[in-house]
Chains A and B, each alone.
Chain A
Amino acid sequence: MKIPEFRWNVLIVSGSFMLAILFMAGLTAKQISPFNPLKVDLSQRLKAPNEEFPFGTDHLGRCVFSRLVHGAKISLSASICATALSMLLGIIAGTLFGLAGPLLTAPLRGITDVALAFPGLLLALMVTGVIGPSIIAIVLGIALAGCAWWTRFIRDQILNAQTKEFVMAGRIVGVSSLRLLLRYLLPQIVPPVLIAASLRAGWGIMAISALSYLGLGVQPPSPEWGVMLQESRLYMDRAPWLMLSPGIAVTLTVLGFNLLAEGLRDAFQLKESGIF
C-alpha cells in the first residue's frame, strides 16, 4: 500500500547525472555538433583528435564527435521506445496473468517459458531476419524480446504482492477488485519495475548497438555507435581512437542505467536476485 521509504544515494546521483548529460547531448545534437555527421571530406581522413576535431575523424573524414552525439539521439530514443513498448505490454499481460488464478497458471507459464527459451538477442535477430534489417525491425525485435520477460516479471511481482497480509485483509473487508489492484497491488510493484526498467533500457542500448554492429540494425552511413565500431575495425591499428570513443559512449550509457538501477535497489532496500 505504501512505497518503502526512499533514500537518495551516491549511485542514483551519479547514474542520473551521466544519463542527464547523455540525454542533453542527444537532444541538442544539431546545436552542439561542429560538423554535419554525414559530411565526407577525404582530405581530412583518419585524423587523430585535435582542436578542430575533438575525437578525430574516421576513414571518410567525418567528425567523430558530431557522429557520437547524433548517435546518442538514435540509441537513446530507440532503446527507450523499445523498453517502454515491451514494458507496457508486459504490465498489461503480466497483471492479467497474475490475477488470472491457478487454472491459467500452467499454460501461461508454458507460453512465457517457450518464449524465454529464445535468448533475448536471438529473438531480436529472428525479427530482423523475418522482416529485414532496419531500425524499425530492431526496435520491434527488442520490444518483442522483452515482452515475454516483462510478462513473467510482472506476473511474479503481482503474485508476490497478493500474498501480503494487508492485501488479504483488504480482500476480507471487501475492498473492490479495481481498488485492490490500483491501491494495494500496483503500488507495491513500482520499485521493482523502476529498477527493471532502468536495467532493461541499458540492455536495449547494448542490443541496438550490437545488432547494428552485425549489420542487422541501423544501416550505414547513419551515425550509430555500433555502426561506427564496425567501421573502425579495419583501422584498429592505424587509428585506435576510432574504436575507443563509440565503445566508451555505449559503456557510459549502459553504466548510467545500471548505476541508477543499483542505486534504486539500495534506496528501496531490495535485494539482488539476478533475475532483474
Chain B
Amino acid sequence: MRTFIFSMIYFIYVLIGITIVSFGISALVPGDPAEIIMRIRHETPTQEQIEELRLELGIDKPLPLRYFHWIGRVLHGDLGRSWRNGEPVLNELVSRIPATLELALTSFCIILVFSTFTGVLFAVFRDGIIDHGGRLLSILAMSVPNYWLGFLLVYIFSIKLGWLPVMGRGSAENVLLPAITLGLAATALQGRVLRTSLIEVFSQDYVRFAIGKGLRLQTVILRHCLKNALGPVVTLWGISLGNFLAGSAIVESVFSWPGLGRLVVEAILSRDIPILQGSVMIAAFFVAAANLGADVVQKILHPRLHSGMIKGMS
C-alpha cells in the first residue's frame, strides 16, 4: 500500500513538471503574442488594440506570477482560448479525445494480443526457423516508417482491393488500418522483448519445479512463465499506451483521423499557441498516467520486487 501512495505522490510531482513545461511554450514563443494573434485573425492591429490585448494576456507581468495565474485558471478547467477562432481550448480538446481514444485503445489491444502471442511462439521455438525468421521480420517491421506503411496499406486494401475505407473516422472498419499502422512497430519490439524475458524465466528453478509437480504445460507457461516474464514488457506496454493516447501526429494525419495528434500539427501550422499548449499538456498527462498504470500493474504482478526484501535466503 505504501508503495502505491509513493507512486501517486511521484505522479503528482511529474504532473507539476508537465504544467511548467507546457507553460514554458507560451513563454518561449518569439515575437509578441498580441501581434501574432492579430495576424492570425487577419486584422491589421492598431497600437491601442495591441496594448489592450497585452493587458488582457497579462504579458507585462513577471513569469512566475503569470505561471501561478495560469495554473489557477487551468485547475478551474480554463485552458484559455484559441488564437485562431476564439473557441475555448478545453472544448477543442474534448472534441478530439474520443477519436484518439478509439484509435489508441484498438491499437493497444492489437499489440497486447500479438506481442504476447509472438513472444510465446518465439520463445517456445527458440533458435528455430520461426524464431530467426521472426527476428528478421521484427527488425524490418521496426524499420518501416509508419506514415509510409499507412500509405501502402491504404493503397493495397482501400484503393486496389477496395475492402476498407480510405480515410476519416466512422464505422469500426475505419479504425482498422490506422490501428495496425500505429501498432506494428511496437508489436514487433515487444514480441522480441517478451521472448528474451521468457527464455530467461524458462531456466529458473521454479519453472522446473512446477513441471516436476506434474502440472500441464499450458499451466506452466501461462501461470508460472508468462506472468513472471511480463515485467519488462509491461513497462513497454505502458510507454506504448501513453504514446498512443498522446495522439500520433503522423498516423492521424495520414488517415485524416480527427484526434489530438492532428490538432497539434494544425496548431503548429497556424501558430495557435494556446491550442498547442493545451494538447501537449494533455498528451503528457496521458503518458504519465499510462506509466503510473504500468507501475501499478508491475507491483501487482511482481509483489516481491517491490517489498523491502529483495531476495530470499536459500
* Interface pair A130/B143, CB less than 8 Å apart: no
* Interface pair A125/B268, CB less than 8 Å apart: yes
Residue interface bits B180-192, CB-to-A below 8 A is 1, else 0: 0000000001101
* Interface pair A128/B145, CB less than 8 Å apart: no
Residues of B within 8 A of A (CB): 10, 13-14, 17-18, 20-21, 25, 28-30, 135, 139-140, 142-148, 151-152, 154-155, 159, 189-190, 192-193, 195-196, 200, 232-233, 235-236, 242-243, 246, 249-250, 253, 264-265, 267-269, 271, 273, 276, 280, 283-285, 287-288, 291
Contacts A128-B268, A237-B159, A243-B155 given; does A113 touch B14 at CB 8 Å: yes
Contacts A114-B21, A126-B25 given; does A236 touch B287 at CB 8 Å: no
**Which of B30, B268, B276, B287 lies at the interface centre, i.e. has the most chain A CB atoms within 10 A of its CB?**
B268
Q: Count A/B pairs, Cβ under 8 Å.
A: 142
| A226 and B246 alpha carbons, distance in the complex (Å) | 22
* Interface pair A255/B139, CB less than 8 Å apart: yes
Q: Is A121 an interface residue (CB 8 A)?
A: yes
Count of chain A residues with Cβ under 8 Å from any Cβ of B?
Answer: 48
* Interface pair A214/B253, CB less than 8 Å apart: yes
Residues of A within 8 A of B (CB): 110-111, 113-119, 121-122, 125-126, 128-133, 202, 206, 209-210, 213-216, 226, 229, 233, 236-237, 240, 243, 246-247, 250-252, 254-255, 258-259, 262, 271-274
Q: Kindly list the 10 A-B residue pairs having the minimum CB-CB distance in the complex, ordered from nearest.
A: A114-B17, A247-B148, A274-B193, A255-B143, A129-B268, A254-B143, A117-B284, A272-B196, A117-B287, A117-B288
15 further contact pairs, Cβ within 8 A, besides A125-B249, A216-B265, A272-B192: A114-B17, A117-B242, A122-B264, A122-B280, A129-B25, A132-B271, A213-B250, A213-B253, A246-B148, A247-B145, A250-B145, A251-B143, A251-B148, A252-B143, A258-B142
Secondary structure at the B interface, as helix, strand, loop or mixed, is: helix
- A259 to chain B: closest residue by CB: B139
User: Could you list 16 A-B pairs, sorted by A, with CB under 8 Å?
Assistant: A114-B17, A118-B280, A119-B246, A122-B283, A126-B25, A126-B280, A210-B145, A246-B148, A252-B143, A254-B142, A258-B142, A258-B143, A262-B135, A272-B193, A274-B193, A274-B233
CB distance from A220 to the nearest CB of B (A): 14
Task: Return chain B residues, CB-CB under 8 Å to A250.
Answer: 145, 148
Task: Return chain A residues, CB-CB under 8 Å to B268.
Answer: 125, 128-129, 133, 216
Contacts A110-B17, A111-B17 given; does A122 touch B246 at CB 8 Å: yes
CB distance from A239 to the nearest CB of B (A): 12
* Interface pair B159/A236, CB less than 8 Å apart: yes
* Interface pair B287/A251, CB less than 8 Å apart: no
* Interface pair A114/B18, CB less than 8 Å apart: yes
- B253 to chain A: closest residue by CB: A214
* Interface pair B21/A216, CB less than 8 Å apart: no
| A240 and B190 alpha carbons, distance in the complex (Å) | 32
CB distance from A198 to the nearest CB of B (A): 12
* Interface pair A255/B140, CB less than 8 Å apart: yes
| A251 and B145 alpha carbons, distance in the complex (Å) | 7
* Interface pair A271/B143, CB less than 8 Å apart: no
Task: Return chain B residues, CB-CB under 8 Å to A236.
Answer: 151, 154-155, 159
| A38 and B237 alpha carbons, distance in the complex (Å) | 44
Task: Return chain A residues, CB-CB under 8 Å to B265.
Answer: 125, 214, 216
Task: Return chain B residues, CB-CB under 8 Å to A233.
Answer: 151
| A226 and B253 alpha carbons, distance in the complex (Å) | 13
**Which of B144, B148, B189 lies at the interface centre, i.e. has the most chain A CB atoms within 10 A of its CB?**
B148
Contacts A216-B268, A274-B233 given; does A121 touch B249 at CB 8 Å: yes
Task: Return chain B residues, CB-CB under 8 Å to A258.
Answer: 139, 142-143
**Which of B28, B145, B249, B268 lies at the interface centre, i.e. has the most chain A CB atoms within 10 A of its CB?**
B145
Contacts A129-B268, A216-B268 given; does A118 touch B21 at CB 8 Å: yes
**Which of A131, A133, A213, A258 lies at the interface centre, i.e. has the most chain B CB atoms within 10 A of its CB?**
A213
| A121 and B247 alpha carbons, distance in the complex (Å) | 11
Q: Out of B14, B147, B159, which one reaches A117, CB within 8 Å?
A: B14
* Interface pair B21/A129, CB less than 8 Å apart: no
* Interface pair A229/B148, CB less than 8 Å apart: yes
- B144 to chain A: closest residue by CB: A251
Task: Return chain A residues, CB-CB under 8 Å to B232.
Answer: 273-274
* Interface pair A209/B145, CB less than 8 Å apart: yes
Task: Return chain A residues, CB-CB under 8 Å to B140.
Answer: 251, 255
Task: Return chain B residues, CB-CB under 8 Å to A274.
Answer: 189-190, 192-193, 232-233, 235-236
Task: Return chain B residues, CB-CB under 8 Å to A118.
Answer: 18, 21, 280, 283-284, 287
| A272 and B17 alpha carbons, distance in the complex (Å) | 31
